[in-house]
Amino acid sequence: MTQLALVIDLNVCVGCQACVTSCKEWNTSGQAGGLADLNPYGADPTGTFFNRVQTFEVGEFPNTQTVHFPKSCLHCEDPPCVPVCPTGASYKRAEDGIVLVDYDKCIGCKYCAWACPYGVREVENERKVMTKCTLCVDRIYDTGLPPSDRRPACVMACPTSARLFGDIHDPESEVSRAIRDHAGYALMPEWGTHPSNHYLPRRRTDAHHHDDQLVRADNPLHIEGRQPKPSPKDPALDDVTSW
């Protein structure tokens, strides 16, 4: 069984919000309807977003780390939002595990949002139905796009490749390997929702400098800053000029 999901690497997310804006751009332009912003230039703007990047400070000054934390629907393997829906508008696809809302069936009762511990479902301000991340289901199967573009908009936009997309049930997929190799974890495991999206923790980055790197053991003249001059006959970078 396929379970599509995102794996988000907190070690490389820089909090640039590119995934937020590209998600909004893609999902407000689709056939399903827009994601309205109310009062966008006023004192109290509000809008519907499928993906938000929050920022946390971990630790006490001066030993702090700034963690940027993107949050969207986790496409739980046991989604608590699905069975509570009275109309069947909220459902989990058997073929790829994406949790979706049928906007034509939704009555906007908000019960599914109450039943989601992660707060990733939002009532659309104008359409008055529940909306959420679709993993860009209208994009990842679009054969009109080149295969490299058949990925969620947020994944395409991430400049640091902090977002990986794939099938977490395939043990050899890029996302499964990332979860295995970098101790990927799920959010709020205590509720047994088994989120499909995983997060990769911060990793310690240590730089080890060995003495021979500092004194350039490969410099035969032991003179720092002066490169050995090659022969004019040696091949040059552009094959025209010499060193």
Partner 1 sequence: MNPALSVILLTTLIGAGQGLFVALYVATLVAPGRVSPHFAVVASAVSATLLVLGLVASFFHLGRPERAWRAAARWRTSWLSREVIVLPAFTAAVFAYGVAQARAPAPAMEWIGAAATLLCVTLFVCTGMIYACIRFLQEWATPLTVVNYTLLGCASGAMLATALAAYLEPALVPGYAAATALATLAGLATRTLSLVRNARLRPKSTVQTAIGIKHPSIRQISPGFTGGSFNTREFFHHRTREFLRAIRWLFLVLAFPLPLALLWAGTALALPFAIAAAFAIQYAGLLAERWFFFAQANHPQNLYYGLTG
The C-alpha atoms of residue 243 and residue 237 are separated, in whole angstroms, by 9
Which amino acid would we find at residue 33? G
Give all strands (DSSP E) within 37-131, no chain letters. Answer: 37-38, 46-47, 51-60, 63-72, 90-92, 99-101, 122-123, 130-131
User: Are 89 and 101 within 8 A, CB to CB?
Assistant: yes
- Closest to partner 1 by CB, 84 or 170: 84
Task: Please tell me whether residue 55 binds partner 1 under the rule CB under 8 A.
Answer: yes
Look at residues 24, 29, 34, 23 and name the one whose alpha carbon lies nearest to residue 125. Answer: 34
Which position among 4, 6, 13, 53 is part of the footprint of partner 1 (CB under 8 A)? Answer: 53
- Closest to partner 1 by CB, 119 or 232: 119
Task: Please tell me whether residue 26 binds partner 1 under the rule CB under 8 A.
Answer: no
Segment near partner 1 (CB under 8 A); pick from 92-100, 125-133, 151-159, 218-226: 125-133
Task: Please tell me whether residue 106 binds partner 1 under the rule CB under 8 A.
Answer: yes
Within 53-192, residue ranges assigned H as helices are 81-84, 111-114, 137-140, 153-157, 174-181
Task: Please tell me whether residue 71 binds partner 1 under the rule CB under 8 A.
Answer: yes
Which position among 34, 67, 137, 177 is part of the footprint of partner 1 (CB under 8 A)? Answer: 67
* In the complex, least distance from residue 149 CB atom to partner 1, rounded to whole angstroms: 26
* In the complex, least distance from residue 71 CB atom to partner 1, rounded to whole angstroms: 6
Task: Please tell me whether residue 105 binds partner 1 under the rule CB under 8 A.
Answer: yes
DSSP lists the bridge partners of residue 51 as: 72
Task: Please tell me whether residue 202 binds partner 1 under the rule CB under 8 A.
Answer: yes
Task: Please tell me whether residue 84 binds partner 1 under the rule CB under 8 A.
Answer: yes
What angle (nearest 5°) sits at the alpha carbon of residue 72, between those of residues 71 and 73? 135
- Cβ-proximal residues to 48 (8 Å cutoff; 6+ apart), any chain: 35, 36, 37, 122, 123, 124, 125, 131
Which position among 14, 25, 56, 213 is part of the footprint of partner 1 (CB under 8 A)? Answer: 56
Which position among 26, 49, 50, 165 is part of the footprint of partner 1 (CB under 8 A)? Answer: 49
Task: Please tell me whether residue 177 binds partner 1 under the rule CB under 8 A.
Answer: no
Look at residues 198, 164, 194 and name the one whose alpha carbon lies nearest to residue 179. Answer: 198
Task: Please tell me whether residue 141 binds partner 1 under the rule CB under 8 A.
Answer: no
User: Are 84 and 113 within 8 A, CB to CB?
Assistant: no
Residues engaged in binding partner 1 (CB under 8 A)? 20, 39, 44-49, 52-60, 66-67, 69, 71, 80, 82-89, 105-111, 113-119, 122-123, 127-129, 185-191, 199, 201-202
